[in-house]
Chain A
């Protein structure tokens, strides 16, 4: 049995093994990683949540959403507004519920439009919320941003690990469910899906709203370490871009794809920070274009490619060995 076959038959256990290793690594990291590096990991996990939840909806239905930043920012703002009145866990739930509701409203309005208009709209929501809230804050409330109460960083770290695991599990179970099949049908051919009994509008809105929950809760966890935030910071479109870029880069054919993409992106972003930010962004732009063009299934797509290549190489080596044997007899 050659390596390619080995990979194929044990694919399921390899995936689970990967995730278990990853979780073990992440959970124990604060013990030996140090504060700075744990913060980097924190950011990487945040990006992973955004990417996985983005892929949950956009990866399957094909409707490209640029709204993650809207829900993420909502989470940050819910924290800012409620931090003095409610305990942290309750705020997380509140942010999830509010994000869900917001997504339902947005979905009702826009998911009956063509794909392109949905994308434009979702993008617009982010810009709209940032600007509108900025105005209300500055001109109506006379505020200039919010300061966050301190929350124990270790608690936050393990909370975000928990949320990441929850997001991945949700994506997994939804993927295997009837809802997941309906979503993939919509992605495969929406008109056919509609005519085979799938209420496409309801399914799209539901999935979109579910993915929004995770983005909103992530915003809550991210808020305290920020110390300070205003509308411009909270609703920065960059978060939408990161979600998309990480998921596509990592590959949407597999659950691990967006996670890997987010980790790589977060890692590079940190490494090339500060002075090199512009170069990093330039470089990432180039990488994105190249990946989209030549690696359409993302990094995860490399795995089957490499596996096949490895299989080929091994087969050739074997043949060469046999040839020598024959030559010697």
Chain B
């Protein structure tokens, strides 16, 4: 099986770090003074109530919008000023909360786009097709390669998004609500997929509301609320954190359901 990640296993290099990350929209701070770090090989969960700033943080990392203040570094390199396609090529890939697939193409073509454009090296048509097929195999969607993407269920479209992200040869993968709307069986399958991704050398950060998934595979969890980081720690620590529990009281958490 082809290894997608390039990171050396076992090293504890800080692959991503943020200091004082802040983003204002109008007068409102969507993300406020957040410090964070991600170590290579981790699966980090990012949780918090709706509107806490999780997706905004992802958007800041992937370059969708610029920071209002603060700094984000990827493998020591500052990301400010880089456009999303440049950030993709340095090794960060992501999926989106509202699944963003290329509605005018087949499944295989969707994934091939990532292979063609996502890495710094030039890729031939045949090589791109090969990589795309392998990625689809990895997410177990090979059977649907030639289907038009619009024929797939939303759940499978999310998998195609993951395959596409993988073909850009990332070292860091940001998954935004991969498990939203999945049945318990599907959640377990998705958890397996994420583990597989990490085992191939790719560091993962997951935004999730499905607690079973977060608690099941994350090595560490960060909690955002109103744009601020209010807690961070192992799954155990977070599940016992008073503040976090209070925040989620009254919020429907999908703990295992």
Contacts and interface: CB of A to CB of B under 8 A. Distances in A.
A191 B100 contact: yes
Interface in B127-163: none
A194 B93 CA distance: 11
Contacts, number: 69
A178 B118 CA distance: 13
Interface of B: 62, 64, 83-85, 88-89, 93-94, 96, 100-105, 109, 112-114, 116-119, 164-165, 168
A192 B96 contact: yes
A196 B164 CA distance: 8
A185 B113 CA distance: 8
A182 B116 CA distance: 9
Contacts of B117: 178, 182, 185, 196-198
A96 B113 CA distance: 31
Given A178-B116, A182-B117, A193-B113, A198 B102 contact: no
Contacts of B118: 196-197
A252 to B, nearest CB: 11
A184 B114 CA distance: 13
B62 A195 contact: yes
A3 interface: no
A266 B67 CA distance: 53
B101 A197 contact: no
5 contacts: A189-B101, A189-B102, A193-B102, A195-B88, A196-B118
Interface residues of A, number: 18
5 closest residue pairs by CB, A with B? A188-B102, A197-B117, A192-B100, A197-B118, A197-B88
A197 B101 CA distance: 14
A184 B168 contact: no
A182 B117 CA distance: 8
B128 to A, nearest CB: 9
A199 interface: yes
B111 to A, nearest CB: 10
Contacts of B119: 197
A311 interface: no
